[in-house]
Amino acid sequence: MAGKMALASGKSIAMFVPKALKGMTVDIPLALTEGLKNIPSHYGEAPRDHGPVTGFTSGAAVAGKTFAWGFIDGLGDVVREPYKGAQKQGMKGAAKGLGKGMVNLTAKSSAGMFGLFAYSSAGIAKSVRSAVYISTRKRIDETKHKEGRWLIDEYGYDKGKKKDEILAHFRAL
């Protein structure tokens, strides 16, 4: 019993380092980036969607887009928001617009800077995970294929049998 407990403890401690490393290099920066990117949505502006991160290549692409558009939109909002506000409410609207523009400049450019690291590291993490688990997926697919072959051999299914006969036999099982 003590040996099993020690083995289980050793396994859980061994998983601590990779989980902590992923948290510090992927999860926390990604949460910070997403939070900063979504600040303007609190006053009605829709955040840009740069697409999903599925691997290193898409992570680098999303990181570049977030960085570029973060600075472009942030700097543009400093001019655009006071102009829109002035058209709607005069000087009071211009002051509100300037406030929104400054918040957007800070939030969007910060999201762009953190996004360079966050989305790139998220892409690397997904690429590593898929490389590690590809053999598992292959084994699952091979096993499903073998099971299908066994069902065909065992029950004599072929292309000549009708769909209803196959379904009836399946339901009987």
**Distance from the first to the final alpha carbon of the chain:** 42
Angle at 42 between CA 38 and CA 47, to 5 degrees: 35
Is residue 15 over pLDDT 70?
A: yes
Higher pLDDT, 37 or 22: 37
Q: What letters, b where the CB count within 10 A reaches 16 and e where it falls short, cover 3-40?
A: eeeeeeeeeeeeeeeeeeebeebbeebbebbeebbebb
CA distances to 20, 62, 68, 76 from 49, rounded to whole Å, are 28, 9, 13, 18
Stretch among 5-19, 121-135, 140-154 having the lowest mean pLDDT: 5-19
- Dihedral class, residue 45 (left if φ above 0, else alpha if ψ from -120 to 50, else beta): beta
What pLDDT is attached to residue 159?
A: 60
pLDDT-above-70 percentage for the chain: 95
Mean pLDDT of the chain: 87
Give 147's contacts (C-beta < 8 A, 6+ positions apart): none
Q: How many CA atoms lie within 13 A of 60 on its CB side?
A: 4
pLDDT of residue 42 exceeding 80, the answer is yes
Mean pLDDT, residues 7-13 = 78
pLDDT tens digits, 116-137: 999 999 999 888 888 777 777 7
| H or E, element range at 43 | none
Instruction: Answer left, alpha or beta for residue 39, where phi above 0 means left and psi between -120 and 50 means alpha.
Output: alpha
Give the SS3 label for residue 53.
coil
The predicted-structure confidence for 75-100, as pLDDT tens digits, reads as follows 999 999 999 999 999 999 999 999 99
